[in-house]
Structure 1
């Protein structure tokens, strides 16, 4: 049996370069984290990660990242829909502003948000609740840096949905909400989940934009990346690596669950 040749030659070389690049950039650094943690011993590892302050920071980091990703999933879909389906003055400018969190240094974003939402800030002084130096302020910072992931992931999918599908649904008697939820949203759901996972992963490791608005109050607004930085400044490299290893495992598990859910949704959509 003859082996079928690939139209584009060079698969072996391309695969080798790809695996070598990923290994050097991604796999080897992650492996070193686990190797450094494994050299500690279980008791030292448990003492490092089981501190109440560390557990509180990990819980706060995961919950605020999930909350921010959920908010971005809703409003990012809405923004992508408006930018794709409607024409209005200033559309190009608004579309460009979506990418601003990608280009803006995170420290600058943190300082700006803190100035806005502090009790004496432009926005904070009109609010009847405290935003800066609270978990709510952390969520706002994470929403800011995670929004482009949702919009830029969903936008191309909306552009590829033919308007004739909506017209056919309307002709068959479906109301606009039914058309959206029954016809359009199932096509958007895989891309929304992808954007959600990207925004969530980005939020888990965010440091610069959060450290200013959080206030870094132990047990209240202290995030896990700050714990890691604090341990590194104290030359506690083993403790910092242990916390980083826990965050890595949590991130991997949650992203795996999200990807499995996305795969099931995509498979169900293909069958239907």
Structure 2
């Protein structure tokens, strides 16, 4: 009887083979490469590792990369929800074109994006020449580049949730006397929050490791506009593989802790509204 029940629980045919292939595939493409980061780092002594990852120049790059990625992801959550709302709730000429343009940062090579943004926001650029302050080759330019490459993650994560929200709940809220803002805060936003957190996580993780679109607009000045991926590339060019992997391991651990925290928040949010 137990064997029959076990067979009934295996809905997919060939579950054992599929599971084995999945584990092999994930191990080959994700676990093995990531483990090599830590194995290469262990070629150094602990004192050398600490010296490498705690240099003032490296610490400054941590602060810039993490801070700019967080700000860009937060901006994308706000405007990503707004764009998704417009694309889902309204019909107007060109809506499909606008919807397709959201995916452009996915398809556009990041180096081209960096060159285009630098051309726009340089002091003699199309936009930069009209501004009273400098954007290109500053931390502001880095945030703009990271916002550009992270926007699709939020929009595409929130859109399906907006499509599936029951309009009757909004009508019931309005019939009970709630205005539009109260309906959004108390009815719609709790439904969007898990998707918004997921979009924030994806945009943040993407921005944290971004290199191509940032390296052109950043200016790459040590202690000011030098991002951590550029430092890793610099050490690789100097054949300092252990130093590069040590810095990469710090960013990897930070990314893992961030993902863990966001998943815990989503789990708590789901339990709260059950």
User: Normalized against structure 2, the TM-score is what?
Assistant: 0.97
| Change in CA separation of 1:7 and 1:255 when aligned onto 2, cut-off 3 Å | closer
* 1:123 shift after superposition: 0.3
* 1:41 shift after superposition: 1.3
**Is the aligned partner of 1:209 residue 2:213?**
yes
Distance in 2 (alpha carbons) for counterparts of 1:176 and 1:194: 25
Distance in 2 (alpha carbons) for counterparts of 1:14 and 1:109: 39
* 1:39 paired residue among 43, 51, 54: 43
Instruction: Please say if residues 187 and 269 of structure 1, whose CA atoms lie closer than 8 Å, have aligned partners that are also in contact.
Output: no
* 1:129 shift after superposition: 1.1
Structure 2 gaps of 5+ residues are: none
Partner of 1:63: 67
Equivalent residues in 2 for 1:99-138, closer than 5 Å: 99-138=103-142
Instruction: Please say if residues 232 and 240 of structure 1, whose CA atoms lie closer than 8 Å, have aligned partners that are also in contact.
Output: yes
SS at match of 2:11: coil
Instruction: Please say if residues 61 and 224 of structure 1, whose CA atoms lie closer than 8 Å, have aligned partners that are also in contact.
Output: yes
Distance in 2 (alpha carbons) for counterparts of 1:233 and 1:71: 34
* 1:189 shift after superposition: 0.2
* 1:262 shift after superposition: 1.3
Distance in 2 (alpha carbons) for counterparts of 1:96 and 1:71: 20
* 1:78 paired residue among 82, 86, 97: 82
* 1:171 paired residue among 165, 175, 188: 175
Instruction: Please say if residues 121 and 128 of structure 2, whose CA atoms lie closer than 8 Å, have aligned partners that are also in contact.
Output: yes
SS at match of 1:206: coil
Structure 1 gaps of 5+ residues are: none
Instruction: Please say if residues 40 and 241 of structure 2, whose CA atoms lie closer than 8 Å, have aligned partners that are also in contact.
Output: no
**Is the aligned partner of 1:23 residue 2:2?**
no
SS at match of 2:113: helix
Aligned residue pairs, count? 270
Query: How far does the alpha carbon of each residue in 1:12-54 deviate from its partner, in whole angstroms, 9 at most, with x for none?
Result: 1111010000000000011111111122110111111111101
Distance in 2 (alpha carbons) for counterparts of 1:231 and 1:8: 47
Name which of structure 1's ranges 32-41 and 3-12 shifts more when overlaid on structure 2.
3-12
**Is the aligned partner of 1:248 residue 2:252?**
yes
Distance in 2 (alpha carbons) for counterparts of 1:99 and 1:80: 12
Distance in 1 (alpha carbons) for counterparts of 2:224 and 2:11: 58
Distance in 2 (alpha carbons) for counterparts of 1:187 and 1:99: 24
Query: How far does the alpha carbon of each residue in 1:241-264 deviate from its partner, in whole angstroms, 9 at most, with x for none?
Result: 110111111111111111111111
Query: How far does the alpha carbon of each residue in 1:69-98 deviate from its partner, in whole angstroms, 9 at most, with x for none?
Result: 000000000000000000111100000000
What RMSD in Å do the two structures reach over aligned CA positions?
A: 0.8
SS at match of 1:29: helix
